[in-house]
């Protein structure tokens, strides 16, 4: 188990990303029943962290998770959710106002049908709210027992420092994968020095790092992968070649390429919890097996180097 920042929250080093659970605004053709099965399969497979957000289906992901967790012992898993999207005027505005964040915690608790949220992230920074004031509002929620750990997501290092002025930030969630390594130079030193956990999003590069792609796919406009430069042109070709090169090492371990890649994050000292998403329960079941994979230092370094300049 790993600990989240300075909080008492603990998790398996592999969790479940749920933007495809009720995230109808991010992917086409999602079915609620499949989403519920994805969550249950995660918990049944020994995964103990569920990563969701208001923005996934504008509350729908949280609602489905609320349904899925009925019958499970709440003390045995942790829920992370996020807010910042203010829809009160009809359109979506990013809002870190203290009152708005407190209301967001209360609203999320209702949708999740639970008494507390283990990790609550400010999903995106706004332009006007001092970040330490936004975090202070979440700290009040923490004192009231409504949340247990404070996180920020999509914040620059300067914004993280401002948010953490009083040392209250437990965890940062940001894009990081074998293909996107900016966080290594931008923030890992600060996070390490300040006992802040790191949760990378898009760890499988939206599926590219599973090794299942050989041809360019034209994703529909209502799919978040539409227009993603990793999935087009020469960059796509180069990524596919690198990912295919992982196959012999995966074969040596008797595992899939996705499990090998997930095991790399689990061994990565700067990654606290890796949260691959899934569209089908079988993917969750398979990804959870990465918890049993152990890479040698040499294997870890080989993968690290192979993807260093991509
Ligand atoms: N904080 C933020 O702003 C932010 C932003 C983005 C995401 N997130 C969080 O991070 C999580 C992870 O990101 P993500 O889900 O978008 O991307 P990801 O984890 O990089 O990729 C997940 C996708 O890969 C495919 N996949 C997963 N396991 C597989 C397997 N074993 N074999 C073959 N294909 C497999 C599935 O898509 P297909 O079946 O369609 O290929 C799945 O939806 C999200 O679910 C969300 O919780 C947070």
User: Is it the case that residue 234 has pLDDT exceeding 90?
Assistant: yes
Q: Which of 206, 217, 255 to mutate to test the pocket of ligand 1 (most atoms within 8 A of CB)?
A: 206
Domain spans, the chain: 2-208+269-293
Say which CATH superfamily domain 2-208+269-293 falls into. NADP-dependent oxidoreductase domain (3.20.20.100)
Neighbouring CB atoms inside 10 A of 65's CB total 27
- Give the model's pLDDT for residue 53: 98
Residues with CB under 6 A from ligand 1: 17-20, 51, 153-154, 173, 201-207, 210, 212, 258, 275-279, 283, 286-287
Residue 258 CA, closest ligand 1 atom number: 31
Which run of H or E residues covers position 308? none
Neighbouring CB atoms inside 10 A of 295's CB total 17
Q: Which of 172, 207, 230, 250 to mutate to test the pocket of ligand 1 (most atoms within 8 A of CB)?
A: 207
* DSSP 8-state class, residue 235: H
Q: Which of 16, 17, 153, 256 to mutate to test the pocket of ligand 1 (most atoms within 8 A of CB)?
A: 17
Residue 225 CA, closest ligand 1 atom number: 16
User: Is it the case that residue 131 has pLDDT exceeding 90?
Assistant: yes
Task: Show Cβ contacts of residue 261 under 8 Å, excluding neighbours closer than 6 positions.
Answer: 178, 203, 204, 209, 210, 246, 303
List pLDDT tens digits, range 26-40: 999 999 999 999 999
**How far is it, in rounded angstroms, from Cα 99 to Cα 88?**
13
DSSP for 100-112 reads HHHHHHHHHHHHH
**How far is it, in rounded angstroms, from Cα 301 to Cα 269?**
12
Contact of 271 with 200, CB cutoff 8 Å: yes
The C-alpha torsion from 146 through 150 and 156 to 159, rounded to 10°, is 80
Give ∠ CA 249-254-256 in degrees, rounded to 5.
75
List pLDDT tens digits, range 50-61: 999 999 999 999
* CA 84 from centroid of its chain's CA atoms: 16
Residue nearest to atom 35 of ligand 1 (CA): 207
- Closest-CA residue to 203 (of 117, 268, 158, 128): 268
Q: For the chain, what is the largest distance between any 2 Cα atoms, rounded to a whole number of angstroms?
A: 55
Ligand 1 geometric centre to CA of 202 (Å): 6
- The pLDDT confidence band at residue 193, using thresholds 50, 70 and 90, is very high
Mean pLDDT, the chain, rounded, equals 97
Average pLDDT, integer, range 237-249? 97
Residue 212 CA, closest ligand 1 atom number: 33
Average pLDDT, integer, range 112-121? 98
- The pLDDT confidence band at residue 178, using thresholds 50, 70 and 90, is very high
User: Is it the case that residue 110 has pLDDT exceeding 90?
Assistant: yes
Q: 259 versus 216: which is more confidently predicted?
A: 259
- Give the model's pLDDT for residue 309: 84
């Amino acid at each position: 188990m790993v600990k989240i920042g300075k909080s008492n929250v603990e998790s398996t080093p592999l969790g479940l990303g749920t933007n495809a659970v009720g995230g109808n605004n991010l992917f086409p053709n999602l079915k609620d029943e499949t989403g519920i099965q994805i969550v249950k399969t995660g918990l049944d497979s020994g995964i103990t962290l569920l990563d969701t957000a208001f923005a996934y289906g504008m509350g729908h992901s949280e609602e489905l998770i609320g349904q899925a967790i009925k019958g499970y012992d709440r003390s045995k898993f942790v829920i992370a959710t996020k807010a910042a999207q203010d829809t009160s005027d009809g359109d979506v505005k990013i809002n870190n106002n203290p009152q708005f964040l407190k209301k967001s915690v209360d609203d999320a608790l209702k949708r999740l049908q639970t008494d507390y949220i283990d990790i609550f992230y400010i999903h995106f920074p706004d332009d006007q709210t001092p970040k330490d004031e936004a975090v202070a509002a979440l700290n009040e929620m923490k004192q009231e027992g409504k949340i247990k750990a404070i996180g920020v997501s999509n914040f620059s290092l300067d914004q993280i420092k401002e948010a953490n002025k009083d040392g209250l930030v437990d965890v940062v969630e940001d894009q990081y994968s074998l293909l996107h390594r900016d966080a290594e130079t931008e923030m890992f030193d600060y996070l390490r020095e300040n006992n802040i956990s790191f949760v990378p999003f898009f760890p499988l590069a939206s599926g590219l790092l599973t090794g299942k792609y050989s041809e360019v796919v034209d994703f529909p406009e209502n799919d978040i992968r539409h227009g993603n430069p990793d999935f087009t042109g020469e960059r796509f070709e180069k990524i596919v070649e690198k990912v295919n090169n992982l196959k012999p090492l995966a074969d040596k371990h008797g595992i899939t390429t996705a499990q090998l890649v997930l095991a790399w994050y689990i061994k990565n000292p700067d990654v606290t919890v890796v949260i691959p998403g899934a569209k089908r329960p079988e993917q969750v079941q398979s990804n959870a097996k990465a918890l049993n994979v152990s890479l040698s230092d040499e294997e870890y370094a080989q993968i690290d180097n192979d993807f260093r300049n991509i």
